[in-house]
Structure 1
Amino acid sequence: MTAPQLRPYHPEDQAAVYRICLETGDSGQDASRLYGDPALLGHVYAGPYITHQPDLAFVLEDDRDVAGYILGVLDTAAFEQLLDRTWWPDLRRRYPVPAALPGERTPDERLHALIHTPRTTPAEITARFPSHLHIDLLPRVQGGGQGRRLMTTLLQALRERGSTGVHLGVGGRNTRAIAFYRHLGFQTLQETPTSLILGLDLTT
């Protein structure tokens, strides 16, 4: 087996990116069993990036298929405003607000609700760490420095575009990912009982 190739995202990679998003969507584990609509996670956590900032999307491709990706955004605040105008409206028409109470919603319904009220990043974070990223790798390409290769490529691209800092969100149960980010120098910016926001200064 040859080493995975790291390359820019191509439009024909969309299906693979959506698949990886689902197969890593349960704190790094396969979330396929949790969702009735297999495209939902991709619509929320991958589609906006490969549609609106494809120049900051990179994939790992091995002998079988695309097996990992990293997706970045240069200006988070502007990106969130753009999605409110161009990305969420169509999804809101397709996925109505769930009637069930929050504590009684299925995983699909929780994402339907998120589509109607997407999270926004606090200004105190975007002021210092204006960019953000998502990275996901299937188990077969984890280890061996592949995650670091993706991170190094995106961080360099962000620096070249003038970014002063980058942040990311991670589930509190995803201890392996948290350790990986900390090893790269990310620091905790915000913490809740279920998740963290980590940040990295890109000026040093």
Structure 2
Amino acid sequence: MIRPFHPADVAGIYRVCLLTGEAGRDASGLYRNPDLLGHLYAGAYPVADPSLTFVVADDEGIAGYVVATADSLAFARWLDEHWWPTLRAQYPRVPDPGDGTQDHVLIDRLHDWSATPEPQYDEFPAHLHIDLLPRLQGQGWGRRLIATLSDALRARGVPGLHLGVAEANAGAIAFYAKVGFETYAHRDWGRTLTLPL
């Protein structure tokens, strides 16, 4: 069942983020700290605007979610003021330990994140992150989460939505194309996709 976010969902959202964090696959082996991915890509959204977070819950718990902001630039400024300072203090930069773990990469990312306008913000100001555990994939839940979020954004008069996806995540790229996203730009890390609302 899809339902609006409840504060009790945070741990489940972080868990799903980690279990899908390596281009859709389990990223648990890459990180000593299991919370870092969630801190970067999921946790701030329901804190900043809980009405744009929706979860899929079944009898085993949270199995998927979509988190979003209606205004990416305003959200980036909110992160700078309310989210990053505490995390930057808690997680000082560390060198690569050379053991294959990637915590240092995410810690660098949270220190380097900046509120920089992107070209797509005028036409597609909203952005999202969506993840589903394998047990829900291929059953239409992703499409329903996107539709639920799109309805909420349209109700606010938001004209468009964007997201970033790694080029290695071919399954996600194919899924987004099926629900109407188009490639806006290719980046060194992947591509930006957009959806008019």
Q: Does 1:109 align with 2:104?
A: yes
Q: Determine if contact 2:29/2:101 at 8 Å carries over to the other structure.
A: no
Q: Does 1:54 align with 2:54?
A: no
Shift in CA distance, 117/100, structure 1 to aligned 2, threshold 3 Å: same
Shift in CA distance, 59/196, structure 1 to aligned 2, threshold 3 Å: same
Shift in Å at residue 123 of structure 1? Answer: 3.1
Report the equivalent of 1:149: 144
Shift in Å at residue 192 of structure 1? Answer: 2.4
- Give the 3-state SS of the residue equivalent to 1:87 in structure 2: helix
Report the equivalent of 1:138: 133
Report the equivalent of 2:189: 194
Amino acid at match of 1:48: A
Report the equivalent of 2:177: 182
Shift in CA distance, 169/86, structure 1 to aligned 2, threshold 3 Å: same
List per-residue Cα deviations over 1:26-82 (Å, max 9, x = no partner): 000000000000010011111110111111000001121110000110000000001
Shift in CA distance, 175/146, structure 1 to aligned 2, threshold 3 Å: same
Superposition pairs of residues 1-204 of structure 1, within 5 angstroms: 5-100=1-96, 106-118=101-113, 120=115, 122-202=117-197
Counterparts of 1:93 and 1:115, CA distance in 2: 11
Note the residue ranges of structure 1 that are not aligned, 5 or more in a row.
Answer: none
Counterparts of 1:193 and 1:50, CA distance in 2: 28
- RMSD between superposed Cα atoms in Å: 1.8
Amino acid at match of 2:195: L
Q: Give identity over the alignment, percent.
A: 49
- Give the 3-state SS of the residue equivalent to 1:166 in structure 2: strand
Counterparts of 2:117 and 2:165, CA distance in 1: 16
Shift in Å at residue 6 of structure 1? Answer: 0.6
Q: Determine if contact 1:76/1:126 at 8 Å carries over to the other structure.
A: yes
Amino acid at match of 2:94: P
Give the aligned length. 197
Note the residue ranges of structure 2 that are not aligned, 5 or more in a row.
Answer: none
